[in-house]
């Protein structure tokens, strides 16, 4: 063999090996691309989870802010109510107009006199009693209204129950008829047909 023939034979033998190497390289490239895609998907999922956590934190912060604002409003209302109560107590304790000192000390606490502290205290007690009576009346009215509503609901439910009972009573004969119809074929005797054979 000549040198050229030997070189050609070597090239021909090396060609399949080169193809196998290129195929292996392509497979490795595909595997690397798949791994990169998986990493990118994992990064995207982590980013989405972080965004969800941030949104939840923002919502919680907004809720806390609203709760704090509501608490501040309630505190301000309580302070206003306390100030109004203090002003009312001062206005009831101090007479609106002054009187001259009476001859006897007993006249100062006379309940019949509008300017005396005893009269102002008694009027305050009367107002409180009236308010309590009004509250009790309102509560009694609410209880009566609830009882009336319950009675109305019961009255409305009674016709529905009666209709359901009637439907059940109507369905029972139908079910009995169906059972009878199903049992009738089973109760009928089996008729055997007689066959005659002709012998020739």
- Sorted by sequence, the CB contacts under 8 Å of residue 123 that are 6+ apart come out as 92
The predicted model gives 173-182 an average pLDDT of: 69
The pLDDT value given to residue 100: 46
Q: Which sequence spans correspond to the domains of the chain? A: 20-70, 113-157
117 pLDDT band (50/70/90 cuts)?
low
pLDDT band at 40 (very low <50, low <70, confident <90, very high): very high
Looking at the predicted structure, is the pLDDT value of residue 104 above 60? no
The whole-angstrom separation of Cα 107 and Cα 101 is: 9
pLDDT of residue 126: 81
| Per-residue model confidence (pLDDT) at position 105 | 46
Mean pLDDT of 55-81: 85
Where residue 119 falls (left for φ over 0; alpha for ψ -120 to 50; beta otherwise) is: alpha
- What's the start-to-end Cα distance of the chain, in Å? 100
Predicted local confidence at residue 103, as pLDDT: 46
pLDDT exceeds cutoff 70 at 96: no
CA distances from 9 to 1, 13, 173 (A): 11, 6, 100
Provide the token pair at 66: 């609203």
CA dist 47 to 6, 56, 162, 190, Å?
A: 61, 14, 62, 79
The residue-averaged pLDDT of 140-153 equals 84
Does the pLDDT value for residue 144 go beyond 70? yes
pTM over 0.75: no
Q: What is the pLDDT of residue 17?
A: 63
């Amino acid at each position: 063999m000549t040198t050229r023939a030997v070189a050609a034979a070597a090239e021909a033998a090396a060609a399949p090996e080169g193809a196998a190497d290129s195929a292996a390289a392509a497979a490795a490239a595909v595997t690397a691309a798949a791994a990169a895609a998986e990493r990118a998907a994992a990064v995207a999922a982590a980013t989405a989870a972080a965004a969800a956590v941030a949104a939840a934190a923002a919502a919680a912060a907004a809720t806390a802010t609203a709760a704090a604002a509501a608490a501040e409003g309630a505190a301000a209302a309580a302070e206003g109510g306390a100030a109004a109560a203090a002003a009312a107590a001062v206005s009831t304790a101090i007479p609106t107009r002054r009187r001259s000192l009476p001859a006897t000390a007993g006249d100062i606490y006379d309940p019949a006199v509008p300017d005396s502290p005893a009269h102002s205290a008694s009027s305050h007690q009367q107002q409180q009693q009236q308010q309590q009576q009004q509250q009790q009346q309102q509560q009694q009215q609410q209880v009566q209204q609830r009882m009336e509503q319950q009675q109305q609901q019961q009255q409305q439910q009674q016709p529905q129950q009666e209709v359901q009972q009637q439907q059940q009573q109507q369905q029972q004969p139908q079910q009995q008829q169906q059972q009878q119809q199903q049992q009738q074929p089973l109760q009928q005797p089996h008729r055997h047909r007689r066959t005659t054979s002709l012998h020739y």
